[in-house]
Amino acid sequence: MKSLSHRLTDRSKPLHIHLIGVAGSGMSGLALLLLGMGHKVSGSDRVTTAETDRMQGVGLIFSSPHSADAVKGADIVVFSSAIRPENPAYAAAVSSKIPLLRRAECLAAILHTRKGIIISGTHGKTTTSAMTAHVLREAGLKPSHYVGAEIPILGANAKWSEEGEFMVAEGDESDGTLVLYQPEHSVVLNIEAEHLDFYRDIDHIREVFSTLADHTRGKLVYCAEDPVAHELCIERENAVSYGWEDADYTATDVRDLKGSSAFTVVKNGEMLGDIELGIPGRHNILNALAAIALADSCSAEFSLVARALSTFAGAKRRFETKYLSANYRIIDDYGHHPSELAATLQTARSLKPKRIVVLFQPHRYTRTQALADDFGKVLQAADLVFISDVYPASEKPIEGISGQTLVDAMSRHGVVPSTYLPDLTKAHHAVGNALQPGDLLITLGAGNVHEAGTRIAKDLKVIEEMRALMPPGEIDGKLYEPMSRHTTLLVGGPAQFWMEPRSFYGFAFLVGYCRERGIPVRVVGRGSNLLVRDGGIRGAVIHPSGGAFSDVSIGTRNEITAGAGVRLKKLASMAAAGGIGGFEWMEGIPGNVGGALRMNAGAMGVETFDQVVRVTFLDEDGVIRTREREEIVANYRNVAELRRNFALQAVFKGKADNSANIKQRWEEARGKRKDSQPVMASAGCTFKNPEDVPAGRLIDVLGLKGTSVGRAAVSDVHANFIVNQGGASAKDILLLIESIQQKARAEHGIELETEVKILGEDEAQF
C-alpha cells in the first residue's frame, strides 16, 4: 500500500487509472481525487449520467457500456463492489495482468498520502464527513475530502487539495474494508448489527471497528451514547468522547429552531461557546459534536468552527427539503436502517407538522428479513405509512420477503395505517393523493424512492399556485385523485390535478391558467357516461362542484335554472316540487346537468336539449357567454359546440302539471328502468344505436349476453350495458368493448360506435 501511495504522489510519473463503475457516488469521488492528483483517469459504466457528463468536463475519459477496450493501456484498474468477474472490462484487466484494486484499497492508498481522518459508523457517516470537511475548510486547514454523496456546500463529493495536510474520508464498513485504513484520526459514530449479508454477527462487526481503532495514530473520537462504540473505545489512551453527558464534549441548553438547532458546547466542564447548527435533529447535534471534537484535535479555532456549522446545509438525501410551503413540507432522507428511521422521524416530529406521512423503500432483502420487527416498531412514530417493494441492490429476492413484510410487522406493533405499494413508479399517486394541508412527507430509503417525492413536489407546486392565485374558498383541489371514485363504472386511474371550482369565475380562471401553461384540461361531472383508462388523465380534470354549480332555482313560465354540477335527479325532484312536469325521465339517470348538456343525454324518448331554453358557457377565448337554444346545434348524443366550450349553467322549460300526474310518470319511468336496466355499476348504454337495429338487440342476437373479460361483463338484463362485477379494470372493459365491435363487424357488417366517452392513458404519463 505504501508503494502504491508513493506512486500516486509521484507527479513526475502520472498513472493511467481506469475505474469500472465510475458513475457510482463512491467511484466518482475517487475519479475526482485522482484527477486532482494529476493522473490520467478513464472510467466506464452501464449508462451515461449527469455525473459522468460533469466529470468529463474536468478531464475524465468516459466510455459506456463496459468493454475490454476501455482498460487498454491502464496502469491500474479500480472496481466497485457491484462489479462481477464476468464484467468485460474486469475480465480484460485480469487477462492483461493489469493490477486490480477494490475501491477501498485505492482510497486507502490516497488517504495514506495525507494525515487521514476516517469517519466511520453504521449511520451518519455522510453528514458527519461533510460537516467535518466543511468545518476544517472554513477553519483555514484546506483539507482534501471524500464523501459518499453530493454535498452542495462543498461543491462536490470529493476534492483533492495540494495545500492542506489533512484528508477527510467517509469509511464504508459494509464489506469489512475499514481494516485497510491507517488514519491519523478516526471517528466512530455508532456500531450496530447491519450488513448481515457480509458479517456473521455484531461481534464480527466489532472486530472490524476494533482494527480501525488499533490503526489510528492520533485521536479516536467516539460517541458515548452508543453502547458498542463506548465499550470498544473507552479504555483506549487516545480516545475522546462526545455525548449528552459524562463525555469529554457535551451539548447543553439544546434548542430546536424549526429547521435548525442551537446548543452550547462544553469540553471537560469548560464552556467553549454557542453553536447554531444549520440543520435540525438531535442526532445531528451529536454529529456536530463529533466534528467539533475532531476539529479541536486538528487545532482548529472554535469561533471559525462555530461559524462553519451555522452555514452547514447538509448533504443530498440527508433530511433534504425538497418542497416547502405554508401547507406542506416534503423531506427526502437516505435512512434505511431502523436507527436511522427513528432519528429521522424524531427530527420530523420536532418540526411540529399536523401529520408525518412516510413513503419507505426497504433496502436489501436480507436487511428487511432480519430487521422487520424493528422497522415495524420505529415506523409507529409516523401517522401514515406507505411501503414500497424492496430495493434489492445486488441481492436476489428471498421468497416471502417484500414491502408487505414490513406492513405486517407494523400491524403487530400498533395501529398506524400502513399500505404496501409494490410498484414504486406509481407509488406517488397514492401518497400524493393522501396528503392534507399541514402534512410533512418523508421519502425514506437508500434506493430510488426520492424520485416519488420529486414528482409529488413538482405537481404540488402547480396545484398550490392555482389555489394561491384565487380568493380563499374559490377552488379546491387534490393530486392524483382516482377517477374510479368519480365514474359510475368505478374504474379509472388518477387525475393528475383534480380541481373543484365553486364559481364561474373560478372555473374560468382554472381553464385560463392551464391553457397558458400547456396543461391539458378535461371537465368531468358525475362520470355517468365515462370510461377512464387505467393510466388516468394527464393534466387537469375540472369538476364543477358546490357554489354556483349546485344551485337550482325555479323561475317564471315553468323554467328552472340549474348549475352544471346539479344532479339530474335533483333537477327532476325540484321540478316536481314546483309543479313542473316533463322532467320525470331524468329520475334514474346518474349524471349531472353539465354532462347531460355535453352529450345531449336522453331516455324514455326524451333528450336534454328538448327542454333547454338557453345555456351559459365558457368559450374558447375564456369569455362567459349565454346562447339561446335555437343558436345551438344538438345531435343524437353529441353537441359539437360543447366539445370546445364548457357548460356552466342552463335554463330548462317544462309544463305546469299537478303532483299526481308527475308522480305517476315518475313511477312509470322508475319501473321501466328497473325492469330493463341492470343494478350493477355501469356507464349506461355502451354503444350508440345503429340506424337499423338497437345496439342492445344486436348484441343479444350475437349471443354475447353474459360474456365477460376479467370482472367486466355484458349485462344479462340489457345487452347494451357493460357492468363492473366488482374489481374490473378499464382494460377489462375496453377488451370486452373491442370483442363486441369485432363480432358485430364480422357477422353483420355493423360498426358499433361507443356512446360512453373514453378518456385517459393506458399507462400513467405523470
Active-site positions? 125-126, 170
* Calpha distance 483→487 (Å, rounded): 6
* Contact by Cβ (8 Å): 497, 479: yes
* Calpha distance 244→288 (Å, rounded): 12
**Per-residue DSSP letters for 396-426?**
PP-TT-SHHHHHHHHHHH----EEEE--HHH
Q: Grid coordinates standing for 672?
A: 321501466
Phi–psi pair at 127, nearest 5 degrees: -60, -45
Q: What is the dihedral of CA 79, 82, 85, 88, to 10 degrees?
A: -70
Q: Grid coordinates standing for 19?
A: 475505474
Q: What angle do CA 730, 735, 739 make, to 5 degrees?
A: 150
Q: Which helix (H) or strand (E) holds 701?
A: helix 695-701
CA atoms within 13 A on the CB side of 144: 28
* Contact by Cβ (8 Å): 544, 501: yes
Q: Provide the residue type at 762 as one letter.
A: D
* Calpha distance 292→136 (Å, rounded): 10
* Calpha distance 290→188 (Å, rounded): 9
Go through the chain and tell me how many residues it has.
766
708-709: strand order across its sheet: 681-682, 722-724, 712-714, 708-709
In the block, residue with C-alpha cell 463525555: 247
* Contact by Cβ (8 Å): 208, 178: yes
Pick from 148, 180, 155, 111: nearest CA to 29: 148
Contacts of 525 (CB under 8 A, 6+ apart): 543, 544, 564, 565, 591, 592, 593, 594, 595
* Contact by Cβ (8 Å): 650, 566: no
Pick from 652, 546, 552, 559: nearest CA to 597: 652
**Per-residue DSSP letters for 641-679?**
HHHHSEEEEEEEE-EE--HHHHHHHHHHHHHHHHHHS-S
Q: Grid coordinates standing for 349?
A: 416530529
* Calpha distance 443→452 (Å, rounded): 8
* Calpha distance 87→522 (Å, rounded): 50
In the block, residue with C-alpha cell 333537477: 571
Q: Grid coordinates standing for 73?
A: 493501456
